[in-house]
Amino acid sequence: MDRITPEFLTLSDRRLAYHQRLGKAGSPGVIFCSGYASNMLGTKAEFLDQRCAESGLSFLRFDYQGHGQSSGNFTDGTIGDWFEDASIVFERLTEGPQILIGSSMGGWIALMLALKQPERARAFIGVAAAPDFTEELFLPGLTTAELAQLEQEGVVCRKASPPDVPLPVTKKLVEEARKHLLLRGPISVTCPVRLLHGIQDADVPWRHALRIADIVPHGDVRIVLVKNGGHRLSRPQDLELLWQAAEEFI
């Protein structure tokens, strides 16, 4: 399939763009959940697609509504909406055990998938995973003026990586996200958990990975800290670390 032209899953109220590569029978699949305002054509998704092709593995990547080539407006979306998108593509397009890989906000989404589909989650791998980022990272970083703007106008733009790119965050997103917070209790996933995080991450501090690990009840949890790594972890050496984490479960 041409990786530039997506396929679409057509629902009653939206169209979700996706790319899927089918692998050999009997092997676990890999599903990638991208980050906030990102899409399925990023460096990590492209890398995973290539490696899965070389290994004969099924691979699925997709765009949440309002992202990339899917329908919808970005500022209308919420964590619940994007988790519903992930759940639908997971349930309709995949079979058997899946290695769930999530980048940044995608780590929040993929963790929720692992909780919802414990019998099919082969492993969870987070790359700068950012569960609860709205409450734990975004709100505390706002100035008094920005908090007032969020309350009065319903949206505020914050700079993120790469520098000087403003990303809108809505009051609706922040308030709806409180229904899905994970860091205030045990994250009772049953699959192995692997967390990759750059110590130089300016968007999601590396200690966020420690918080996740601390509240996963079982012991099969490992953290890989990359001393000079930033938020994206998309350099060749970072991508190799990601594939090493995935290979453990193939």
Catalogue the active-site residues.
Answer: 104, 201, 231
Q: How far apart are CA 111 and CA 208, in angstroms?
A: 14
Cβ pair 216, 193 in contact under 8 A: yes
Indicate the residue type of 167. L
CA 62, 31, 71 angle in degrees (round to 5)?
10
Alpha-carbon distances, residue 230 vs 137, 197, 203, 241 (angstroms): 16, 8, 9, 14
Cβ pair 241, 47 in contact under 8 A: no
Q: How far apart are CA 89 and CA 64, in angstroms?
A: 10
Cβ pair 244, 213 in contact under 8 A: no
**Helices H / strands E in the chain, number of each:** 8, 10
Q: How far apart are CA 131 and CA 9, in angstroms?
A: 26
Q: How far apart are CA 148 and CA 145, in angstroms?
A: 5
Q: How far apart are CA 183 and CA 221, in angstroms?
A: 16
Q: How far apart are CA 149 and CA 146, in angstroms?
A: 5
Cβ pair 195, 178 in contact under 8 A: no
